[in-house]
Structure 1
Amino acid sequence: MLKAFDANQAAHALRLAQATLQNEADAIAALNDRLAADDSVVQAIALLLNCKGRVVVSGIGKSGHIGRKIAATLASTGTPALFVHPAEAAHGDLGMVTAGDVLIAISYSGESSELMTILPVVKRMGTKIIAMTGKPGSSLAEIADVHLNVAVAKEACPMNLAPTTSTTVTLALGDAIAVALLDLRGFKEEDFARSHPGGALGRRLLTHVRDVMRSGDAVPKVQAHVKLTDALLEITQKGMGMTAIVDGDNRPVGVFTDGDLRRMIEKVQDFSKVVIGDVMHANPRTIAPEKMAVDAVAVMEEFRINQMLVTDADGKLVGALHIHDLTRAKVI
């Protein structure tokens, strides 16, 4: 069981938490001011934008964790990137790096021995180097083609030892660079979806009607001359709450839904002689199978319908779509 805080401890903890956030916010604001004072970040963005290979990010310890996140953000926003651990690079993984790549090396001290072991080799290969350090006069800053200064006045750690504010500033600068590149590359929602096919946006923007529609025998349909009772049997068997009414060429000429049936009950006593063609809704709304599923959602919402027919280029019925199909596919 956790020990309860007394009022003084709770107040002290809150002050520390708020001081940490304020410290990190102030450091990011200071970084923002530094960016306006020189063109280093513009140089870095230009190098990355014109990179013919991939962006390779490297760092060790907390800098390595930040580097992994920067590489992941770049990769998911249109800039091919990967993380290489500097110690592993010194034992073979340096083969992942080519002359056409750009290396982002992260070390707050700028003296990380693991990084400094591999950087002369990378430099001889002709690979461009962007350094992110808090020490402009460090060995890493000196060897780099572009140095990004992520210095902070003080870590949020009360002992000024644990990387806290410095890692936050480095991460924020990585995000800033990724967003600038995203915009310069003309990266769109569709591009983001392609790199996130398992996410909600990917499902929305990559799912076509053909991927979720019901087809073949699962599509309820009858011809206009059949009795309403037969049409109701088709509705019940196919479980879509409606049936399409088609002509002899399998082109939909109407639709009849559960809602239509409920409204008929108030007016018609004997269903046995009713022909479906006389009570159907003519000219039903249809959609093509190659359309995006989100387009079907938009039509359904606009016209407040739960089902839609799917027709090919010749106007023939090839499928049917229920709002529940879109929900199950997580398009909605």
Structure 2
Amino acid sequence: MSASRLDIGARRDSEPRAAAVISGLGTCLPSNTVHNTSLAEGLDTSDEWIRTRTGIQSRRRITPDLSVLDLACEAAGNALRSAGTDAVDGLVFATTTPERPCPSAAPEIASRTGLGHVLAFDISAVCSGFLYALTTAGALITAGTVDSVLVVAAETYSRVVDPTDRSTAVLFGDGAGAVVLRSGTTGEPGSLLAHDLGSDGTGADLIRIPGTREQGTGQRWFTMSGRKVYLQAIDRMAESARRVMKDCGWSPATLGMLVPHQANARIIEALAGRLGLPPERVLRALAHTGNTAAASIPLALAGAVADHRLEPGARTVLTAFGGGLSWASTGLIWPQLTAVTSEV
């Protein structure tokens, strides 16, 4: 295993240090809801089968007139409103379902959101993308390069999932989430305290969308080796979350909330068991969104803030696993904020 860790001294040094602080949270979901019963008709399955194996009851999917950029821009604007600002110094965009391979989407999102000529670039780390982007943006702030960054994650997997493949068609939904990061110190709620990042390229074929060289100009569907991914996801997220808790000086017994990537209910339940956490301290929020890949963690956070499952002051670990293979975790004390959400 290869892993990279960033510990800014929250545990070993009580003196506050420079840190990136979450100050705003926004999300956007398509208004179009697709229930299990709609999918079951053409997939030789049932609502009960899907619920039992995935924990998903419905998911949101964009209509032909919308794009991943529309979702991203709406979530970005909502995060800015949540933070009470209309300006940041940079934008990092996480997606694996861009409208085009070139140019990157981040500059267009920045322009459409009214941010002007700011630093802007894309990150592709599949379901780990939001945490990779969060860590990168935080490092830009603590290095003194910028004072604030908008981190956006948006996905439209409905356009790359084979509608005839029962193993993947029922899992994925579309959506977007974003946070505003500002410069601050480790003594503030919302400050990013520790990060853990890792990858294993020997598993690159386990989660993939074929390239044009492999499949020509025809439709390139998303594929996933379900059982192998299931086992890797549990192992990698558990290990990564433990490393972040150790760096923060926390134990599972003192953790307020674990917020995992919302892949499916069975992975989340197995992860909770691996870490010895009761269900109420592991956020499960995919019943009505499905797996939204990089967008799943900010979407889950917004829902948890709205229904008071995640309260200010909670010791919080975010953890994700995705294609690459890649994984990431971040530790923070959850801040006082109001998430701004909308539909398109």
TM-score, normalised by the number of residues in structure 1: 0.23
Higher RCO structure (Cα 8 Å, ≥6 apart): 2
**Which structure shows the higher helix fraction?**
1
